Structure 1
Amino acid sequence: MDWIMLSIGGAGLILFIISFFLKDRSSDTADELQELSMSLYQELSQLKKRTKLLEEELMIDSSSSNKPVKPKQINEILVNQVLSLHKQGMSPEQISNLSSLHISDVLHLIKSRS
């Protein structure tokens, strides 16, 4: 019985001494985790910057679309045709369908030139 206790104690002592020479895997895992968290932080930071740029571009686009639109220059020949068709009794919708103008442009021309 004493031999068994001594052999178990000796094996324990040998394993204890060997444990000092083995590489600690938990420190490697901690280093990998730290590197991973840093790379994720950098990617998140880049995504936030890109998102901010996109939001600024959208704000610029939406603010420029709120500006009043200048009436487009319409060819005088087209104006004369619109007025002529209106005098012939055509509705603004029909004139808009026949011409390349929007109905609001047709109505504006009729009101301003009549």
Structure 2
Amino acid sequence: MEYIILTLLLLSAIVFIFSFLRKDRLAELEQEIEQLSLSYMQDIYQLKKKISVLEEELLFQESPEYSDAFPAAIKEKSSVHEIIKNQVLALYRQGLSIERIAHQSNLQPNEIISIIDENQQKERPI
């Protein structure tokens, strides 16, 4: 009986020492998951940076200051704008009030006044 207890104590000591020497698989999995999450976060950050750069480029190209980037689109916008200007001037010549013209053309009254002033400056001989 003493031999059995002594053998069991020796066996438990060996298993106890072996448990410290054995690799912890859970720690390895945690490290792998952490590395994956870090790499995903880096990828997401890089994608967000690229998207913001692309958005800035699109805004840069669409701004009216840079009409060479999309001349057809800007010419189309300016032709619509010219049509609205002509409509505003025609309504003004008919004697409509600025508020009424603004309501019909969906423009602000200060825009209506600037269109009228611009046209009057063009018509004046220098």
TM-score by length of structure 2 reads 0.58
Which of 7, 26, 34 is matched with 1:10 structurally? 7
SS in 1 for 2:24: helix
Match of 2:96 in 1: 90
* 1:54-99 Cα distance to aligned partner (Å, 9 max, x none): 32234335545665487722239x71x5334323432323112123
In the alignment, the residues of structure 1 paired with residue 34 and residue 91 of structure 2 have an alpha-carbon distance, to the nearest angstrom, of 72
Match of 2:26 in 1: 29
Shift of 1:49: 0.9
5+ residue gaps, structure 1, are none
Once superposed, what is the RMSD of the aligned Cα atoms?
3.6
Shift of 1:34: 1.8
For residues 1-114 of structure 1, the aligned pairs below 5 Å read: 7-18=4-15, 26-64=23-61, 67-68=64-65, 72-73=78-79, 74-75=82-83, 79=86, 81-99=87-105, 102-103=107-108, 105-114=111-120
Match of 2:71 in 1: none
Higher RCO (C-alpha under 8 Å, 6+ residues apart)? 1
In the alignment, the residues of structure 1 paired with residue 33 and residue 117 of structure 2 have an alpha-carbon distance, to the nearest angstrom, of 69
Counterpart of 1:102 in structure 2: which amino acid? Answer: L
CA separation of 1:35 and 1:53: change in aligned 2, threshold 3 A: same
Alignment coverage as a number of residue pairs: 107
CA separation of 1:82 and 1:25: change in aligned 2, threshold 3 A: same
* Bigger Rg over Cα: 1
